Chains A and B, each alone.
Chain A
Amino acid sequence: MAVRIDRDKCMYCGACTSVCPFLALELRETYVHVHEDKCKECGICVKACPVGAISLPRGDTQ
Chain B
Amino acid sequence: MKYDREWDVIVVGAGPAGIKAGEELAKRGLKTLVIDRKQEIGAPKRCGEGLSMRWIKISGLEPEPIWARQYINGAILISPKGKKIVIDTDKLGKGSGYIIERKMFEKFLAANAIRAGAKFMLKANVYDLVMEDDYVKGVRVNYMGDDLELRAKIVVAADGVDSRIGRMAGLNTTLPLTEMDSGFQYEMAGVELLDPNKMELYFGNEVAPRGYVWVFPKGKDVANVGIGINGANEKTARYYLDKWIEENWDRFKNASVIEINAGGIPVTKPVDEFVGNGIMLTGDAARMVNPIHGGGMGTALEAAGMLADVAKEAIASGDVSKEKLKKFQDMWMEKHGEEFAKILKVRHFFERLNDEQLEAIADMALKGGLTPDVLVDLGHGKGLVEVAKALLKASPAAAKLVWEFIKG
Contacts and interface: CB of A to CB of B under 8 A. Distances in A.
A18 B233 contact: no
Interface in A29-62: 29, 44, 47-52, 61
Which secondary structure dominates chain B's binding surface? Answer: loop
A51 B231 contact: no
B37 A13 contact: no
A38 to B, nearest CB: 12
A14 B162 contact: yes
A50 to B, nearest CB: 4
B37 A27 contact: yes
Nearest to B226: A50
Contacts, number: 93
A29 B175 contact: no
B236 A49 contact: yes
A15 B180 contact: yes
- What's the interface size class on B, roughly? 35 or more
Given A14-B264, A15-B262, A52 B160 contact: no
B266 to A, nearest CB: 7
Contacts of A44: 177
Interface in A8-37: 11-21, 23, 26-29
B162 A50 contact: no
Contacts of B160: 14
B180 A52 contact: no
B234 interface: yes
Contacts of B233: 47
Contacts of A50: 182-184, 236-238, 262-264
B321 interface: no
Interface in B84-142: 123, 125
A47 B167 contact: no
Contacts of A19: 174-177, 180, 231, 264
A49 B235 CA distance: 10
Given A11-B262, A48-B182, A17 B123 contact: no
B261 interface: yes
Contacts of A48: 177, 180, 182, 231, 264
A29 B263 contact: no
A27 B183 CA distance: 17
A19 B268 CA distance: 13
A60 to B, nearest CB: 12
Contact of B38 (A18, A29, A47): A29
B46 A14 contact: yes
Interface in B2-29: none
Given A14-B160, A15-B162, A49-B182, 13 more contacts: A11-B44, A13-B263, A18-B161, A18-B162, A18-B163, A19-B174, A20-B174, A29-B125, A47-B234, A48-B180, A50-B182, A51-B237, A52-B236
